Amino acid sequence: MPLSSRKASLSRRLYRQLAFNWEIYLLLLLPILYLLVFKYYPMYGVQIAFKNYRAVDGITGSAWVGFRHFATFFRSYLCSRLILNTLGISVYALLVGFPIPIVLALLIHYMPSRRLKKTVQTVSYAPHFISVVVMSGMVIMFLGERSGIINNLLAWVGLGRTDFMAEPQLFSSIYVWSGIWQGMGYGSIIYIAALAGVDVQLHEAAIVDGATILKRIWHVDLPSILPTIVILLILSCGQIFNVGFEKVLLLQNALNNSASEIISTYVYKIGIANSIGDYSYPAAIGLFTSVINLVLLSVVNFAAKRLSGNSLW
């Protein structure tokens, strides 16, 4: 068949498929437009990381400086501290916070009472809907040295009061565990849904063989939801350098700054809070973190594919 005939045949098949499934493609149009407008089009502005951007000259008119802003950041005395603080909080949150929604989902799944199950789900989901500002205010209030409920309990049992928010070594734990409390219920939803899809016959066979609940969890449930766990783990590893600055900034003070200053708060301060309006330097730092996240995502995805056979691509 000539090439032109093959192209015409392919075009006809494509047109018939579009015409037959036009409702599905219409639904797909909105997320595609969202990605194009809010994700891909803004990438045009990434080039200011390689320029000495001035608003009066515009993006295309600003002078090209190459990797100067990247070199400035790497030579900065803050560079190592920012990277270590960011990695410390992210890895801590990943190691501690990633398994907890899985454990919570398993506990909810095996609760014998339907009413108790709904109550636990509602109570565990509720903190997710508290805003970051309110959550940070609650943390500061609970940990207050003079009137905080934690310090009141410590004083009541004779252990003395501690200014938790002034201790740099405690900042990571405060940030991570408050985040776990807020997000573990909402994060368990996808695992509860995955557990609901486990084949009942596998559990029936395990019960006949005399398997306990722990053995059923280990040999039936976890292998069944392993693809979901691996995918979410890959996505979490791809966000290692993306610690949100809002909560860190709200919990930050002059006394814990040595442990709480991370890349995102530094970028916010020099790019937005700074009255000078230097956008190229923070854009270079943001691009650096995005590239590192992409590399980590690719490496973890490759490792997961080799070890478990599950991956994003």
Query: pLDDT, tens digit, for every residue of 30-72?
Result: 899 999 999 888 888 889 999 998 888 888 889 999 999 999 9
pLDDT at 6: 65
Strand partners, 51: 64
What is the pTM (predicted TM-score) of this model?
0.86
What CA–CA distance (Å, rounded) separates 155 from 87? 34
What CA–CA distance (Å, rounded) separates 49 from 227? 38
Task: Indicate the Cα dihedral angle 214, 215, 217, 218, nearest 10°.
Answer: 120
pLDDT at 3: 54
Element (H, E) at 64: strand 63-64
Which residue numbers in the chain have pLDDT < 50? none
pLDDT at 45: 87
* DSSP three-state, residue 49: helix
Superfamily in which the 77-116+187-308 domain is placed by CATH:
MetI-like (1.10.3720.10)
Neighbouring CB atoms inside 10 A of 56's CB total 6
pLDDT at 4: 62
